[in-house]
Amino acid sequence: MSKQSQQKPTSTDQNGVSVIQIQAHSSTSNSTGATAGLQQVPQLVPVSPGGGGKATPPSKMKKTIADKDSDEYRQRRERNNLAVKKSRMRSKQKALDTQQRVNELKEENERLEAKIKLLSKELSVLKDLFLEHAHNLADNVQPPTAAITAGDLCNNNNSGSNNGSQ
C-alpha cells in the first residue's frame, strides 16, 4: 500500500512559519476515488520577498539591542573597552619591538660593513707584500751567466758522463 502526495499552496501561520498542505490519495481507493483528509506539515521556508531559498545565518540576523542603561549593556561595553585597550597595547608593543629590531639590524650592518673595509684593506696590504716578495725572488734567482742555455746544460752533463766511462 503506497500513498501518493500532492503539494498544495503554502500558507503562513501567526509565527511566520510557512505550512505546506499535502493531500494524500490512497492507491487502494474504490472506484469513486475517495480521498483521505488533508495533512499539515510545517516547513521552514523563508518568507522574504526576494526569495532565493536561503535562510539568513544567525551572524547576519538583527540582534536585539540592549538598553543602554542595563547592566548587561554596561558589562559588554566594559569588556569591549578592555579588549580594545589590550589590542592597542599589543599593537604598540609590536611596533616598538619591530623598531628595536630594525635598530639592532642597522647597528649590525654598520659593524659588518666596517669589518668588510678592514678586511679589504688587509687583503690589499697582503697582496702588495706578496707581489713585492715575488718580484724580489724573481730578481735574485737569475742564472749566473746568461750565455748558458738549457741545451748547453744537457750537453755538458752528457759529455761529462761519457768522459768518465771511457
Higher pLDDT, 150 or 121: 121
Task: Report the pLDDT averaged over residues 122-137.
Answer: 93
The pTM for the full model equals: 0.40
pLDDT tens digits for range 110-126: 999 999 999 999 999 99
pLDDT band at 29 (very low <50, low <70, confident <90, very high): very low
* 28 Cβ contact partners less than 8 Å away, ≥ 6 residues apart: 1
Q: In the Cβ-directed half-sphere of 39, how many Cα atoms lie within 13 Å? A: 14
